[in-house]
Amino acid sequence: MSQNILEVKNLKINFSTFAGTVQAIRNVSFDLRKGETLAIVGESGSGKSVTTRSIMGLLASNAQIKSGEIKFKGQDLLKESAKEMDHHRGNDISMIFQDPMTSLDPTMTIGKQVAEPLLIHGKISKENALKRAQEVLELVGIPNARARMKDYPHQFSGGQRQRIVIAIAIVNYPEILIADEPTTALDVTVQAQIIDLMRELQEKLETSIIFITHDLGVVAGIADRVAVMYAGKIVEYGTVDEIFYEPRHPYTWGLLSSMPTLDIGSHKLASIPGTPPDLLDPPQGDAFAARNPYAMNIDFQAQPPFFQVSETHYAATWLLHPDAPHVDPPAAIQRRFAEYQKLLQAGQVENPIEGSLNE
């Protein structure tokens, strides 16, 4: 098993607002192994971005980290000074943000912006930094990179701007790359190109990736493991196959059932009723109980612990308790599982979900 490069333990983050204290992150724990891609999935407001921004030390001024550890190669980043975090940020750990136009400076040429992280960290001379910038722009697939280094962000397409943002993030060859919904603003064809690019870069640079998204189709194409977040907590995590074909949490069932595929046929696309809870006053029991068609009395009374499904698969749902009644997953989940079993028996390794989305 690969060594953990990042370990987040029992992280709790609150936000002070005029309405009161929002308990945004509630006892989140996960790890990231060297060279792997961990996808964090969930609805808007589930806590995905707040969790990863805390790793970078980029939380808003009204945020308070109440407890927990964020260990990078054994060092707790929450105990690091501002100067030490400046060294890590953009050097050891980099981030790709969702909208490239807000990430790029419209008044600076692309070459200078890609070279800037090298100069900030004082690694090489300006001349060599510009040479490295050209190499990285070529690496991420910018045509005629040498000439285009003198161009400005508005002279590039949306997909090219996202490639430039990726170039800025990897120019220092970071050990961890956090991608915060990097394909959301792009069309489907460009999304696929960016996903392929990130896979290629990971192989070449041996970078570990945390990929934040609400798009489960994207997860199927890039992730090794998946953590599903809801209302500031991780409710299920496992390998990508376990989450897609043998999910155990009703929230994961809902997310997968609402994901369109080309083979959906006459089956009605499902949706998750209701809205996430107000984290100014989190519910006493399972935060998903009010939206869960399979909820039992205990779901409204106590938060479920994590139950182990396999060595790599855990889910926080009372349905896994030995005394809970048997509940079959929705028909859409059963169809995917049956398809997966057929592929296993045939000895095929292709991901049928990925294929159905990208055909």
CB atoms within 10 A of CB 312: 13
Spatial separation of the C-alpha atoms in residues 73 and 208, rounded to whole Å: 12
Spatial separation of the C-alpha atoms in residues 113 and 248, rounded to whole Å: 45
Identify the DSSP state of 203. Answer: H
Domain-wise residue ranges, the chain = 34-60+79-92+175-359, 101-173
Spatial separation of the C-alpha atoms in residues 178 and 12, rounded to whole Å: 20
pTM: 0.90
In sequence order, which residues have a C-beta less than 8 Å from that of residue 178 and are 6 or more positions away? 52, 55, 56, 93, 94, 95, 96, 209, 210, 212
How confident is the prediction for the chain on average, in pLDDT?
A: 89
Spatial separation of the C-alpha atoms in residues 193 and 170, rounded to whole Å: 17
* Strands, E assignment, 54-150: 63-72, 75-76, 93-96
118: tokens are: 């090298």
Give CA torsion, residues 25, 49, 169, 199, to 10 deg: 100
Spatial separation of the C-alpha atoms in residues 34 and 92, rounded to whole Å: 13
Spatial separation of the C-alpha atoms in residues 177 and 232, rounded to whole Å: 22
Helix, strand or coil for residue 70? strand
100: tokens are: 């490239």
Sign of CA dihedral 232, 235, 239, 241: negative
341: tokens are: 């079993």
For residue range 151-210, what is the model confidence (pLDDT) as tens digits? 999 999 988 998 999 999 999 999 999 999 887 767 778 888 888 888 888 888 889 999
**What superfamily does domain 34-60+79-92+175-359 belong to in CATH?**
P-loop containing nucleotide triphosphate hydrolases (3.40.50.300)
Phi/psi for 265 (5° steps) reads: 60, -130
Predicted pLDDT at 261: 62
Do residues 294 and 300 lie in contact, with contact meaning Cβ atoms separated by under 8 Å? Answer: no
346-to-65, 216, 261, 350 alpha-carbon distances in Å? 49, 25, 22, 11
219: tokens are: 């997860």
Q: For every one of its 359 residues, what pLDDT tens digit does the chain have, with 9 covering 90 and above? A: 468 999 999 999 999 999 999 999 999 999 999 999 999 999 988 999 999 999 999 999 999 999 999 999 999 999 999 999 999 998 999 999 877 788 899 999 999 999 999 998 876 899 999 999 999 999 999 999 999 999 999 999 988 998 999 999 999 999 999 999 887 767 778 888 888 888 888 888 889 999 998 877 788 878 999 999 999 999 999 999 999 989 999 999 999 888 766 555 556 677 888 999 999 999 999 999 999 999 999 999 999 999 999 999 999 999 999 999 999 888 778 877 777 777 767 766 554 444 433 33
